[in-house]
Amino acid sequence: MPLLRAEEVSVSFGGRRALDEVSLAAEAGHVTGLIGPNGAGKSTLFDVVSGLRRPLTGRVLLDGHDVTREGPARRARRGLSRTFQHLELFGRLTVRGNLLVAAELGPGRRHAARTADRVLDRLGLTDLAGAPADALPTGAARLVEVARTLVLEPKVLLLDEPAAGQDTEETARFAALLRSLAEDGTAVLLVEHDMSLVMTVCDEVHVLDLGTVVASGPPARIRQDKTVLTAYLGEE
Ligand code: ADP
Ligand code: MG
């Protein structure tokens, strides 16, 4: 059974359908990609899954529990964690400070400092631990956002364009990190525009266009899918 399931989720903004009966799943140990053009509804789906937006119809299941009516904090306690498309770091805190704030809220709160330092080390951020977050280049700031979710030891991790602003080397390291998170048993759901990253790290990819899933499958199949080429890849 997948750790995360969205079932027939619909969302409307002022009568306009942003999501129209979207169903998808993310499994433990897998990196699941969610791609699609701007405005397709990817971030809106993340809002529904994380509990920031109530869907018009449909359900969200976490580890078999229907969490559709639960708020974000409750879902976080069930092991769901996310990043945002727009950076949401505490700019005046140091990198380590940002992680400590999060660690105080997570399962590792009794050992918050140790938890934070372990994640800094894993992501190669130890040298930046004392730097103020608002002084970081975008690529590093994105990584700190991911680090901040990891101190919560998530079972399901939603990443909204985490590689935007990363350079080639950062992205390569990031790809390795995503695979190692999956190996730990995390269900990773990745929204990302960097197609080579998506095609390299994902076990399965869902393509969203105008609020509907137009294709799902392994990267090799998605790359050849005609609907996808028109809906999405043709745009680039
Ligand atoms: P994506 O993340 O795939 O680029 P979004 O989920 O951000 O797409 O947006 C999907 C659609 O919903 C877009 O047409 C967008 O303009 C609209 N939308 C998103 N958030 C809101 C909102 N808070 N109010 C009104 N419309 C919104
Ligand atoms: Mg978005």
What was the pLDDT predicted at 225? Answer: 86
Query: Domain 1-79+155-236 carries which CATH code?
Result: 3.40.50.300
**Mean residue pLDDT across the chain:** 94
Q: Is the C-alpha dihedral spanning 150, 137, 30, 48 positive or negative? A: positive
Q: What is the pLDDT of residues 2-60, one digit of tens each?
A: 999 999 999 999 989 999 999 999 999 999 999 999 999 999 999 999 999 999 999 99
* Ligand nearest to the Cα of 22, by number: 1
The region of weakest confidence among 41-55, 204-218, 221-235 is 221-235
Query: How far is residue 67's CA from residue 155's CA, in Å, rounded to a whole number?
Result: 15
What was the pLDDT predicted at 85? Answer: 84
Q: Is the pLDDT assigned to residue 233 strictly greater than 80?
A: no
Ligand 1 binding residues, C-beta < 6 A: 13, 18, 36, 38-44
* Ligand nearest to the Cα of 209, by number: 1
Instruction: Report whether 105 contacts 152 (CB < 8 A).
Output: yes
- Those residues whose C-beta lies under 8 Å from the C-beta of residue 29, and which sit 6 or more positions away, are 182, 183, 185, 186, 187
Cα of 123 from ligand 1 centre, angstroms: 31
What was the pLDDT predicted at 234? Answer: 55
| Closest approach atom of ligand 1 to CA 208 | 3
Residue ID of nearest Cα to ligand 1 atom 14: 39
Among 91, 68, 88, residue whose Cα is nearest residue 80: 68
Of the chain, the end-to-end C-alpha distance in Å amounts to 35
Instruction: Report whether 27 contacts 187 (CB < 8 A).
Output: yes
Residue ID of nearest Cα to ligand 1 atom 15: 39
- Residue ranges, comma separated, of all CATH 3.40.50.300 domains in the chain are 1-79+155-236
Whole-model pTM above 0.75? yes
Mean pLDDT of all residues in 86-93: 88
Q: What is the pLDDT of residues 124-151, one digit of tens each?
A: 999 999 999 999 999 999 999 999 999 9
| Closest approach atom of ligand 1 to CA 38 | 4
* Ligand nearest to the Cα of 11, by number: 1
Query: How far is residue 146's CA from residue 93's CA, in Å, rounded to a whole number?
Result: 16
Q: What is the pLDDT of residues 169-181, one digit of tens each?
A: 999 999 999 999 9
